[in-house]
C-alpha cells in the first residue's frame, strides 16, 4: 500500500482515537465539571505508568521488527508470537503490581480499578503487527466502529456528576474491544508456530532499549497531569487536560506520518538504500513544517474564543493553555521526523534516547518550579520548553548526516504565511467575540489565507500538493460523468 494511502488511513486512526472523546467533551465537561474531568485525567495518568512498564517499548519495537521480516511468513509468524508472548508476561506483571498499588491507595479506588482495563487493552493490542505490515485499513475500520458505539453509550448513560465511573468504564472498555477486534484478521496473516524460550527472550533486550526513551516521553506526556494533581488540584488538571486533548487532536494529523514512515524507512534501511532513506526524510521534514505551522498558528488564533463555548464557561482558562501549548505542534512534528522516522528505524537509539531524556529532565525541573506559582499555566510552559529542547538536541546530533539548511529551506515561507494568518484570525476573534460562529469564520477564512500566501511566495510543496488535489478532482468528475 502506498505511503499516501497509509498516511490517510493513519490520520483517520489517530483522529478516531482522539477526536471521538473530543466529540463528547462539550457534554462531559458540563455534566462532570472540571473536578470530574480532572479526576479522570489524574487517575488515568497513574495507570499509564503501569501500562508503560508493562509494554516496555514492545509496540514500537514490534512495529519496526515486523517491517524487517514481513517478506518471510515463517519468520514473521515466529517474530509475532515471540513478541506477543513477551508482552503478555510483562503486562501481566504490571497488572499484578497495579493490584498491589490498589490495595495501598486510599482514594479513587473504584475509578482506579476501572482504569485498569486500559492495562488489559494494552496486553491484547496487536496493532503494531499491522503497522509493521503497512496495513492500516484494518486498524482504522475496527476502531472506528467500536469507538462510535462508545460515544453513543456516553450520551445514553452519563447523565450526572455521579456517573464519572460510567464515563471512565465506557472509554476504557471501548479501547479494550477495539484492540481485541483486530484478532479477527490474525489467522489470515500469521501461522501457528512452536516457540522456544529463546524466541521470546531475544526480544527483551531490544525492547528495553526502546523502553528508556518511552519512560522519558511519558514523563512529559503524563507526569504533567500527575504533578498538577499532587501539587495543585483536580480542577487545574481538568483545564490542562482539555487543552492538551485539543492540541493532540491537531498534532495527530502531523505525527501520523511518523507511524507510516517508520516501517517504510526500516525496510528501506534493511535493504541498504541509505540515500533513499535520507530523501524520504528531507521530504517528510518539509511536509511536517508545511502542515504543522498553520495548525500551530491556527490553534493559538482561535483558542480564546473557542474554549468557553466548546468546553463551557468554566473552562475559559483552557483557551489560554491552548495558546501557550500550541508551539509543541511544530516541535513534536520535527522531532517525530528526526526521531521516529530516522533515528529509530535505523537503530540509532542512543541519540534518540539522549534527546528525550534531556527533555524529560528539563520538564520535570520546570514543573517543580512553575506549578506552584502558575499552576496549569506553568505546566504548559514547561511542556513547550521541554519539547523545544528535544528537537534542538536531535538536530545537533544529525547535523553531519543531514544538511540543516536543506531541512529548513522553506521554513521562512511557512512561518510568514502562518503569522499573517494568525493576525487575521485574531482580528476576527476580537471583533466577533466568543461563539461557535466566530470559530467557524476563523477556520473557514484563515486556512485559505495561508495557502494563498504560499502561492504568492511560490512554495514548491504547496504547488505540488494542490496540483495532485486538482488531478484527483478531475479524475472523480470524469468517472462520475
The answer on 362 and 425 residing in a single domain is no
Instruction: Give Cβ neighbours of residue 415 (< 8 Å, ≥ 6 apart).
Output: 293
Nearest to 459 by CA among 421, 407, 396, 411: 411
Instruction: Answer yes or no: do 230 and 307 share one domain.
Output: yes
Measure the CA–CA gap between 147 and 406, rounded to whole angstroms: 41
Specify whether 421 is located in the same domain as 382. no
Based on the domain organization, do 328 and 428 belong to the same domain?
no
The pLDDT profile of the chain, 481 residues, written as one tens digit per residue, is 455 565 566 666 666 666 666 678 888 888 998 888 889 988 988 898 898 888 877 777 777 787 777 777 788 888 888 888 888 998 999 999 999 999 888 888 899 999 999 999 999 988 778 777 766 666 677 777 787 888 899 999 999 989 999 999 999 998 898 888 888 878 887 888 887 888 788 877 777 776 766 676 666 667 788 888 888 888 898 899 889 888 888 887 777 654 555 555 556 656 666 677 677 788 888 888 988 999 999 999 999 999 999 888 888 999 999 999 999 999 998 988 887 777 776 767 788 888 888 888 898 899 999 998 999 999 999 999 999 999 999 999 888 888 888 888 889 999 999 999 999 999 999 999 999 899 999 999 999 999 999 999 988 888 887 877 777 777 767 766 6
Q: Are residues 377 and 433 in the same domain?
A: no
Grid cell digits, residue 339: 526521531
| Distance separating alpha carbons of residues 39 and 288, to the nearest angstrom | 34
pLDDT for 481: 60
The verdict on 57 and 127 lying in the same domain is yes
C-alpha cell at 158: 452519563
Of the three residues 353, 387, 409, the one that is the final residue of a domain is 409
CA dihedral of residues 219, 222, 225, 229 (deg, nearest 10): -80
Question: What is the predicted pLDDT for the residue at 74?
Answer: 81
Whether 206 and 224 map to the same domain: the answer is yes
- Say how far apart CA 442 and CA 419 lie, in whole Å: 14
- What's the confidence (pLDDT) of residue 192? 83
Model pTM score: 0.72
Return d(Cα 407, Cα 286) in angstroms, integer.
7
Q: Among 409, 439, 466, where does a domain finish?
A: 409
- Indicate if 417 and 394 belong to the same structural domain: no
Query: pLDDT at position 403, please?
Result: 83
Residue-number span of the structural domain to which 31 is assigned: 3-409
Same domain, 46 and 170: yes
Tell me which of 365, 384, 409 is where a domain ends: 409
Residue 295 confidence (pLDDT): 93
Identify whether residues 426 and 456 lie together within a single domain.
yes
Q: Are 36 and 233 in contact (CB under 8 A)?
A: no
b/e string for 210-247 if b means 16 or more Cβ within 10 A?
bbbbbbbbbbbbbbbbbbbbeebbbbbbbbbbbbbbbb
Which distant-in-sequence residues (6+ apart) come within 8 Å of 272 by Cβ? none
| 80 alpha carbon, distance to own chain's centre | 24
Do 473 and 335 share a structural domain? no
Taking residue 200's Cβ as centre, other Cβ atoms within 10 Å add up to: 18
Residues 439 and 405 in one domain: no
Report how many domains make up the chain: 2
- Output the 3-class SS for the chain: CCHHHHHHHHHHHHHHHHHHHHHHHHHHHHHHHHHHHHHHHHHHHHHHHHHHHHHCCHHHHHHHHHHHHCCCHHHHHHHHHHHHHHHHHHHHHHHHHHHHHHHHCCCCHHHHHHHCHHHHHHHHCCHHHHHHCCCCHHHHHHHHHHHHHHHHHHHHHCCCHHHHHHHHHHHHHHHHHHHHHHHHHHHHHCCCCCCCHHHHHCCHHHHHHHHHHHHHHHHHHCHHHHHHHHHCCHHHHHHHHHHHHHHHHHHHHHHHHHHHHHHHHHHHHHCCCHHHHHHHHHHHHHHHHHHHHHHHHHHHHHHHHHHHHHHCHHHHHHHHHHHHHCCHHHHHHHHHHHHHHHHCCCCCHHHHHHHHHHHHHHHHHHHHHHHHHHCHHHHHHHHHHHHHHHHHHHHHHCCCCCCHHHHCCCHHHHHHHHHHHHHHHHHHHHHHCCCHHHHHHHHHHHHHHHHHHHHHCCCHHHHHHHHHHHHHHHHHHHHHC
Amino acid at each position: 500500500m502506498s505511503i499516501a494511502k497509509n498516511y490517510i488511513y493513519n490520520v483517520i486512526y489517530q483522529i478516531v482515537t482522539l477526536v471521538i472523546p473530543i466529540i463528547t467533551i462539550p457534554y462531559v465537561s458540563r455534566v462532570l465539571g472540571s473536578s470530574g474531568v480532572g479526576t479522570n485525567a489524574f487517575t488515568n495518568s497513574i495507570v499509564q505508568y503501569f501500562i508503560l512498564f508493562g509494554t516496555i517499548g514492545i509496540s514500537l519495537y514490534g512495529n519496526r521488527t515486523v517491517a524487517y521480516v514481513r517478506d518471510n511468513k515463517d519468520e514473521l509468524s515466529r517474530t509475532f508470537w515471540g513478541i506477543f508472548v513477551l508482552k503478555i508476561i510483562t503486562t501481566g506483571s504490571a497488572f499484578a503490581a497495579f493490584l498491589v498499588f490498589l490495595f495501598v491507595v486510599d482514594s479513587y479506588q473504584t475509578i482506579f480499578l476501572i482504569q485498569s482495563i486500559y492495562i488489559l487493552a494494552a496486553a491484547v493490542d496487536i496493532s503494531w503487527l499491522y503497522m509493521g505490515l503497512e496495513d492500516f485499513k484494518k486498524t482504522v475500520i475496527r476502531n472506528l466502529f467500536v469507538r462510535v458505539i462508545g460515544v453513543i453509550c456516553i450520551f445514553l448513560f452519563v447523565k450526572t456528576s455521579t456517573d464519572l465511573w460510567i464515563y471512565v468504564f465506557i472509554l476504557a472498555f471501548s479501547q479494550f474491544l477495539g484492540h481485541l477486534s483486530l484478532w479477527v484478521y490474525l489467522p489470515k496473516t500469521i501461522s501457528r508456530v512452536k516457540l522456544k524460550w529463546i524466541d521470546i527472550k531475544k526480544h527483551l533486550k531490544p525492547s528495553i532499549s526502546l523502553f528508556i526513551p518511552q519512560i522519558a516521553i511519558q514523563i512529559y506526556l503524563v507526569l504533567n497531569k500527575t504533578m498538577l494533581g499532587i501539587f495543585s488540584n483536580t480542577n487545574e488538571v481538568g483545564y490542562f487536560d482539555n487543552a492538551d486533548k485539543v492540541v493532540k487532536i491537531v498534532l495527530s494529523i502531523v505525527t501520523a506520518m511518523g507511524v507510516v514512515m517508520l516501517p517504510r524507512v526500516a525496510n528501506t534501511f534493511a535493504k541498504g538504500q541509505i540515500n533513499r532513506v535520507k530523501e524520504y526524510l528531507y521530504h517528510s521534514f518539509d511536509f511536517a513544517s508545511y502542515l504543522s505551522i498553520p495548525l500551530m498558528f491556527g490553534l493559538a488564533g482561535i483558542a480564546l474564543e473557542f474554549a468557553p463555548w466548546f468546553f463551557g464557561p468554566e473552562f475559559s482558562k483552557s483557551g489560554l493553555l491552548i495558546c501557550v501549548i500550541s508551539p509543541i505542534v511544530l516541535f513534536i512534528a520535527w522531532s517525530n521526523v528526526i526521531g521516529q522516522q530516522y533515528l529509530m528505524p535505523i537503530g540509532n537509539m542512543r541519540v534518540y534516547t539522549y534527546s528525550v531524556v534531556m527533555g524529560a529532565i528539563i520538564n520535570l525541573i520546570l514543573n517543580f518550579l512553575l506549578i506552584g506559582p502558575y499552576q496549569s499555566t506553568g505546566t504548559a510552559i514547561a511542556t513547550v520548553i521541554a519539547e523545544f529542547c528535544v528537537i534542538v538536541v536531535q538536530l545537533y546530533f544529525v547535523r553531519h548526516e543531514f544538511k540543516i539548511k536543506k531541512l529548513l529551506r522553506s521554513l521562512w515561507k511557512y512561518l510568514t504565511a502562518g503569522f499573517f494568518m494568525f493576525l487575521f484570525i485574531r482580528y476576527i476573534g476580537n471583533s466577533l467575540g466568543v461563539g461557535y460562529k466566530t470559530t467557524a469564520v476563523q477556520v473557514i477564512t484563515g486556512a485559505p489565507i495561508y495557502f494563498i500566501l504560499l502561492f504568492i511566495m511560490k512554495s514548491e510543496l504547496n504547488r505540488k500538493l494542490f496540483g495532485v488535489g486538482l488531478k484527483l478532482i478531475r479524475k472523480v468528475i470524469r468517472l462520475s460523468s
